[in-house]
Structure 1
Amino acid sequence: MKEARAFSETLNFKKLKQMYLFALITIAITILLSQLLIQHNINSQLNDSKLINISGKQRMLSQKLAKEILILNSDADSSNDQEVISNIKKTLALWKFTHEALQKGNDSLKFPETKSIHLLELFNAVQPNVNYIEKATTQYLIDREKHISHTISQQEVKGILDNVALFVTKMNVIVGQYEYEALEKVTKQRNIEYGILSFTLLILLLEFFFIFKPTNKKIEILISKLLSSERRAIKLARDTEALSIIKENSVKELKSLNFAMENTLLYCRISPLGKIIHMGDKFSKLLQYNPSFDADKNFSKAITTVEKEQLDIDRIIAEKQRSGWQGELNTTDKNGNTLWLDMAMIPVRIKKEELELLVICFDITVRKNAELEVERLNRENIIEKINQQKIISSKIVENQENEQNRIAREIHDGIGQMLTGLKFSLESINLDDKEKSAQKIEYLKKLSLDIIKGVRTATFNLMPPELSDHGIVSSIAKLTLELGKLTGKNVQFYNKTDFDQRLDSLIEINIYRLTQEAINNAIKYAESSHIIVQLSHSNKILSITIDDNGKGFDVASVEKKRNSESGMGLLFMKERVQYINGRAFINSIPGEGTRITFNIPI
């Protein structure tokens, strides 16, 4: 012991403490500097990515401006001019604002005012095109509103398109410059971080060789001497103190066990007659049981205040005092609240003739309440689904009935009346009067063609012959063509992957009806002028996408209104596509348009 004490005195702990403190401060400073630098560069990179994104958006806005001008210039119907002109003005204003923010900086968008010399040169180079596009577009809109010569407008449109093309090309260079400068920043940050990491590793290496390794060696020697001294001391005191140490350890273990049981377990010791011998502190707090004030120490009355529940507990104690019992109890505490306990009664023999019951419980009230709540929610969910199915079924029957009534009216009012006219015209033909007979025969030919057209229209609405004869691609192509002719809308169909497979008839019918409903909704509700239907496929999925430029809607709010016509329409559409194991994706932006995509496994 003296040798160890003398060796420990030679260790300079004050100097060791100073060295440790210096090393820790150095590491902390390097980590702090590294984090500050990283956060600064991350914020800078966020602004850089935003700049690149907005610069790329400028190209899209210029192209959108050119597209809207082309639409306005090619639209012979002047009734929509004001709406298109308003959209062009909005696009022009947004394009101009964004360009000025990129060129001169903007505090709200966090765009810097300062730029590199190369970026300034690129912005100066694109500025003439920006000025021309802004001036020419404004002049073109004024001419369009005043109905000035079409030839002048064509010249202005051509000038705008040429400058938009130049603008897009130059903006590509600007975006590339932004990306190049952002890459330079990232490279610089990486080199700095490597430097900080190298410095930190150097500090750790120096600490290891000059602090940890020498100190560890000295401490190992000290511990070795201390252990040797301890072994000699234990050997000298073993005979006299062995029993005392064992007894002390046993007392500590019993105290620890008793403390753990009192404060962590819900436990109680009761007699075979149900009287409380001892109850743990945690169990007492849960049951609000105080042995000093509660004269009646009956276990069942401490557990619950309901007489029926007390009788059940007394019965369990009487029947299971020798075999033991385990189960869940639903009881009522002194405040009238429901209490669920997972209880185990274990018989313990203290002496030969003395028997006790050790009761160990777990409070499962929260879990049971959660289970009951889950059951209640499941029941409500099932009831809600049943009600939705009832609504869907009734709506389907109603739609079928309306479709049948519509077809009946078409046959009665259209085809029926034409057939009646045909009958009367045939009966009124007088073969002796050849001139009038020839006129009536010509009229009958025209009437016969109208009847044939009406029959074809009715059968097309029921089931287009192309669907059964040629498949889904041909039927959708015919559907878009016919709807475009009937409504005057620009309805286009594209088979992007040249899909030509035949599917199950039930799948083809549902795909046709889904596409028909989506196009009709775009025409009827969205007030669209341009509708594009695209079909594509992979090895496992067939996709049909319907895009329109209508007024759009808020998908979330419409889906919440399950009782409205639009809300039920979306629900029916999703139910129908799920019927053929497909999925529907509906994306819409108010004021910009809607995209509906159906993915069906093939």
Structure 2
Amino acid sequence: MERLDKRVAGSLTRFYVVALCVVALLTMSGLFLIRRTIRNLNHDSRVVNVAGRQRMLSQRLTKLAVLKINSFEHRDTVSFNSLLALWKDSHEDLVSRKLPLEKGFVTWKSQPLDTMFRELAPVFDHIYQNLRIISSDSAGLAGKQRALAEVLTNEPRFLAQMDRIVFQFDKESFERLENLERIEWILDLMTILVLVAEGLLIFRPVVNTTRRVVRMLTESEDALQLSNQRLKEANIQLVETQKELLRLEEEKYELQLAEDRVRAGALIEGQEEERKRFALELHDGIGQMLTGLKLHAEKLKAMQFHDEKHQKRVEQLVTLIQDIIQTTRQVSFNLMPSVLSDFGLASALKLLCQQTADLSGIKVLFEGETGERILMSRPMEIGLYRIAQEALNNAVKHANADQIKIKLEQNKNRIVLEIADDGKGFLISNLKSEGQFLTRNGMENIRTRTQLLNGEIEIISKVDSGTKLVVRVDL
């Protein structure tokens, strides 16, 4: 059976690869031919339009010349010289086989058109030179009249030749369309032939091969049933063994989880101690030095400078030092707020809400008793504060919320911390199916801290209905 499977799979693979290659080759060839033909047809209407406009411009120039020489009043406000320049430029563009467009040039290749333009060149030059004489202020009236007579004499020849040129443009465009239609018929015929060949050479052998395989599988079904009966008896023993192995694996997994919690707790405790030390160094060290620097700068600001630029620079220096002091205090507070150890978790959360509201512009509310401090261990206070800090940061960055609310309450021997927002929310299934979502939004950190506190975490969220995070910890 294994050799037969390999043989059938190899045969089917070769058939399908050949079929796909043929279809792909025909498709790419058709696309290439059609695209090349369409590229040749691009802007044909623009070329015909410009060629037809040359006839109109020549007639308009002749009319303006007649009106100008005979001093007739008219309402045509266009400049004769600008119209003449446009007529000349358009003719030169047609002769050079390059029409300027918004995104480049339109070019074409046609021996009959080149011959027609060469035949038209003497007539165009003669009309153009006489129109230049008519537009000139230095030429006399008699000279302008002679020039007008020449223009009127040569204009019918110009118009007739331009008619032939326009018809030639249209004829060549139509021929390219007919060529494209022939290509489409050829491609359709080739596609039909390929489909017929696929039906005869691929699908029919596939059906026959499948029929043989099914017959062989049917014949081997009885033997498989007998083997399955024996396997069932062996599976009963395997199940018992697997249950025992599963129990041992669960015990090992629980032990590993306990070890991970111990390591995570030690790591987080070390991080908090390092944050506390760094916050004290910022506040007592760099903060004091910056305060002294500010006092010296303010003394320097009180001095009178002859140059106002120096006075402004000193004022900017004082402002910059004040901003650095404020930023240092904010960093020190984020690392380890002193109010947490002095007044407890409720006061620290209230201050965190106020500062977040000031920095983000979002309405952040706190609900809880700040007068009486809840008695809890130091690690529990820090853990709950970090959970609230991380959840609040997620809501500000990702929820697009207008209002965020933090609630802290004590129910007998249980602390309940809620962080709720009215933002865009998300699907709870994303937390389970997308592992990156946990790390990206800090949820893994919140979950780890909750587990270290032996607490429970609950996330309630719907799309466009906000998000609520509830953490419950027993005292």
Please, what TM-score do these two structures have when normalized by structure 1?
0.40
Give TM-score scaled by structure 2 length. Answer: 0.49
* Higher helix fraction (1 or 2): 2
The higher relative CO (CA closer than 8 Å, separation ≥ 6) is in: 2
